[in-house]
Structure 1
Amino acid sequence: MDDLFLPVRKYKSDPDLNVKIVPEKTAFLLVDCDESSADQKIVENQICSSLDIARRSGMKIVYLYNAIQGVGGPYDVTTRIHGLDYLENSWKPLMPTFSKLIQPLEGEAILPKSHKDGFNGTMLDYYLKTWNIDTIIAVGFHIKSCLFHTCIGARHNNYRVIMLRDCTNTLEFPDTVDSSNPEGGWLRFVFIRMYETDIGYTSTSIELVRAILNKWL
């Protein structure tokens, strides 16, 4: 399809800012969207609709999943920090289970990771470069953890990265929830502010669907 322009948000930028998207050079990246990690309400609504439109537009679809079980030995710090010392690690990562609404299609990349940053120790950067990808639209879980760190990794690997802020959640702590905060809580507010200041752009699933559909009309 032809180029499209996606409304985005960036700290202290034009409130009507749009960026040009070339679908054939864009990857739609799902971070930890399998059933063991994801918020299923967000998966079944925002992520499902944005994934569908991304596929139809011709974007490359890539899944990252958290392979904590099956990437190290009994002294793996990742399993320990998550309180999963009881897991029997081996060399072979276990394949995740996805909701049928976002099930990977044949030919779509599914890459295991063992770090918060999905570029660290994986084939992600190599894979994207072999498809001439220069832009990433990222969704997944969580904004304070793997999704956030993977977006930083994308930025450090010279990709333009756009996070769909309604396609993730924050898992606020009891003392950071604040209904008067524009993001609903201080944790989410701070992470989005850091992201929009130093890492990339944010947008929403609604804006993505609208931008692509308007291009087709």
Structure 2
Amino acid sequence: MSNIVLLVVDVQNALIDEHPYNEQRVIENIKNLIITARDNQKEVLFVRHDDGKGTELENGTHGWQIYDEVSPNGDELIIEKHYNSAFRRTGLKEYLDKKNVDTIILVGLQTEYCIDVTCKSAFDYDYKIIIPEETNTTFDNDYLSGEKLYEFYNYKIWNKRFAEVIPVEDVKRLLTMPT
């Protein structure tokens, strides 16, 4: 069996306060996965983006804080990042390697930015990536709606190329399996 972690990326107040696509469903699914992981002694790792001084994601501000409904327990690791990739200059890969992790369940924001780059970086490092359906989200932009971006990345870019995009219930079953 694989050594698996749940990686929760950039579910921060400033982003949730802007109400991304499918917000409530995504938050509920992430919360349920966190509970299932914790109940089954699977590690939950959090990634928090610091966009720099004067931004909505400035270190120490309300917007930078991890959203309360999915916040870490006191003993859960928070990886701080300054780039779209959760791996770039963060120590995440070294940490995962030390723990012999081979499978990452990837959830969070934003689909076309930090989730996409983190997914592809993890793929380049030979991790198996699982993306539960309706656990990542983003916003409308000048070209596509948040819904279209979600569908495009999950089902045209990632699934069966860089990751497995599978139903949340299937992921919950994976989390209940012994390591």
- Give the TM-score of the pair, scaled to structure 1: 0.67
Shift of the 196–43 alpha-carbon distance from structure 1 to 2, 3 Å rule, reads closer
What percentage of residue pairs aligned between the two structures are identical?
19
**Structure with more helix by fraction:** 2
Q: 2:33 aligns with which of 45, 50, 71?
A: 50
Residue of structure 2 equivalent to 1:180 = none
Partner residue, 2:60: 94
Structure 2 SS opposite 1:107 = coil
Q: Is structure 2 residue 92 aligned with structure 1 residue 124? A: yes
Aligned mate of 2:168, from 159, 180, 205? 205
Consecutive aligned runs of 4 or more in structure 1 exceeding 4 Å deviation? 210-213
1:10 matched residue in structure 2: none
Partner of 2:153: 191
SS of the equivalent of 2:107 reads strand
Partner of 1:41: 24
Aligned residue in 1 for 2:139: 171
Deviations 1:92-133 (A, max 9, x none): 943742333322112211011111111011110011111111
* Distance across 1 between alignment mates of 2:120 and 2:89: 15
8 A contact 1:165–1:203 mirrored in 2: yes
Checking the alignment, whether the CA contact within 8 Å between 1:151 and 1:161 is kept in structure 2 is: yes
5+ long unaligned stretches in structure 1: 4-21, 71-86, 178-182
**Structure showing greater relative contact order (alpha-carbon pairs closer than 8 Å, 6 or more residues apart):** 2
Aligned equivalents of 2:42, 2:129: Cα separation in 1: 14
Q: Which residue of 2 aligns with 1:142?
A: 110
CA RMSD after TM alignment: 2.7
Counterpart-to-counterpart distance in 2, 1:165 and 1:154? 18
Normalising by structure 2, report the TM-score.
Answer: 0.80
Select the structure of larger CA radius of gyration: 1
Cα 1:169–1:128, aligned 2, differ >3 Å: closer, same or farther?
same
Amino acid at match of 1:202: V
SS at match of 1:33: coil
